[in-house]
């Protein structure tokens, strides 16, 4: 399967390059960077090791999409919108791990998914996606008597909050209760807030150091507390999940999928 990476010179992009190179049945055929970036024209192999691969970093995303069977995108929301259009145009499967997408960004993925398989997940980790499934099940089982709080911590450089994964956990919890997250989400508490409103799903955001990603879903009631936790110690888990998703797309019909579909948990 021919796979390309957009934004391949970034920290996550380089991990994706490494994982594609190591995956059986996958051929790394290209990667892109922003126009004017110092990596443009350099050998992709030198981004991840000492051995050239004979493939250069390009600023021509359209050519990369035209050549690939699947493209993996962990870039930025506006760039992902452009990549979704290219995926649909060139019949290329698209795997998206970009976070911070607005409703308009999401609609671009919905549109592309009418033509090609699109896997979108706020977190590509196998363990985190198991946590999504468990969170929905526990929320449905415990019911409204248990207050739900989601605590997440990431490195100091992360720009969006709450994290895409935390919001995904919130959506899973809300789905377990049969409600929309937007109707019950509480992301900010400051000052004299009064008593906690029943049924709300709260979020606490922590930032500092080099934390890859810690997420805990707390179900708290009178007399007991249930906590579900996932801690990531390496970004390689996200890259491995994305490559697994790309392989899963081979031969799939058009549609918008999640990692739960990839893992058979949907």
158 catalytic? Reply is yes
Q: What topology is assigned to 126-232 in CATH? A: Dihydrodipicolinate Reductase; domain 2 (3.30.360)
Q: Of these residues, 2, 89, 90, 158, which one is catalytic?
A: 158
- Is the pLDDT assigned to residue 14 strictly greater than 90? yes
Count of CB atoms situated within 10 Å of the CB of 96: 29
Q: In sequence order, what DSSP letters do the residues of 156-182 get, joined into one string?
A: TT--SSS-HHHHHHHHHHHHHHTS-HH
Q: b or e along 114-123 (b: 16 or more beta carbons within 10 Å of the residue's beta carbon)? A: ebbbbbbbbb
Domains 2-120+235-262 and 126-232 share a fold: no
Mean pLDDT of the 248-263 span:
96
Q: Confidence class of residue 153 from pLDDT cuts 50, 70 and 90?
A: very high
What is the residue extent of each domain of the chain?
2-120+235-262, 126-232
The answer to whether 129 is annotated as binding is: no
* Residue that wins the pLDDT comparison between 58 and 159: 58
Q: Confidence class of residue 164 from pLDDT cuts 50, 70 and 90?
A: confident
Mean pLDDT of the 103-132 span:
95
- Cα separation of 74 and 240, whole Å? 13
The answer to whether 162 is annotated as binding is: no
The answer to whether 9 is annotated as binding is: yes
pLDDT digits (tens, 9 = 90+) for 180-202: 999 999 999 999 999 999 999 99
Task: Give the mean pLDDT of the chain.
Answer: 95
* Residue that wins the pLDDT comparison between 266 and 64: 64
pLDDT digits (tens, 9 = 90+) for 46-104: 999 999 999 999 999 999 999 999 999 999 999 999 999 999 999 999 999 998 899 99
Task: With CA atoms as reference, report the closest residue to 176 among 193, 201, 151, 203.
Answer: 201
Q: What topology is assigned to 2-120+235-262 in CATH? A: Rossmann fold (3.40.50)
The answer to whether 8 is annotated as binding is: yes
Specify the pLDDT at position 119: 98
Please, what is the Cα angle at 119 between 105 and 117, to 5 degrees? 100
Specify the pLDDT at position 266: 77
Angle between helices 164-177 and 126-142 (to 10 degrees): 30
The answer to whether 215 is annotated as binding is: no
Specify the pLDDT at position 265: 86
- Is the pLDDT assigned to residue 235 strictly greater than 90? no
The answer to whether 26 is annotated as binding is: no
The answer to whether 25 is annotated as binding is: no
154 catalytic? Reply is yes
């Amino acid at each position: 399967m021919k796979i390309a990476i957009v934004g391949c010179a970034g920290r996550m992009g380089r991990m994706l390059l490494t994982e594609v190179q190591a995956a059986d049945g996958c051929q790394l055929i290209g990667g892109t960077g922003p126009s004017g970036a110092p990596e443009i024209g350099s050998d992709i192999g030198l981004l991840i090791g000492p051995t050239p691969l004979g493939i250069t970093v390009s600023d021509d995303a359209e050519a990369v999409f035209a050549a690939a069977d699947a493209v993996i995108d962990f870039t930025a929301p506006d760039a992902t919108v452009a990549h979704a259009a290219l995926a649909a145009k060139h019949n290329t499967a698209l795997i998206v791990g970009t976070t911070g997408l607005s409703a308009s960004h999401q609609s671009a993925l919905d549109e592309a998914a009418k033509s090609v398989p699109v896997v979108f997940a706020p977190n590509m980790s196998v363990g985190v996606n198991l946590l999504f499934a468990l969170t929905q099940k526990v929320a449905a089982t415990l019911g409204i008597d248990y207050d739900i709080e989601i605590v997440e911590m990431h490195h100091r450089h992360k720009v969006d909050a709450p994290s895409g994964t935390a919001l995904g956990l919130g959506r899973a919890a809300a789905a377990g209760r049969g409600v929309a997250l937007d109707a019950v989400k509480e992301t900010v508490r400051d000052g004299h807030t009064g008593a906690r409103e029943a049924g709300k799903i709260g979020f606490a955001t922590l930032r500092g150091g080099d934390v890859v990603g810690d997420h805990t879903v707390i179900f708290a009631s009178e007399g007991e507390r249930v906590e579900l936790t996932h801690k990531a110690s390496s970004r390689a888990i996200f890259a491995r999940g994305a490559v697994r998703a790309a392989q899963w797309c081979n031969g799939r019909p058009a549609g918008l999928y999640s990692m739960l579909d990839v893992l058979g948990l949907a």
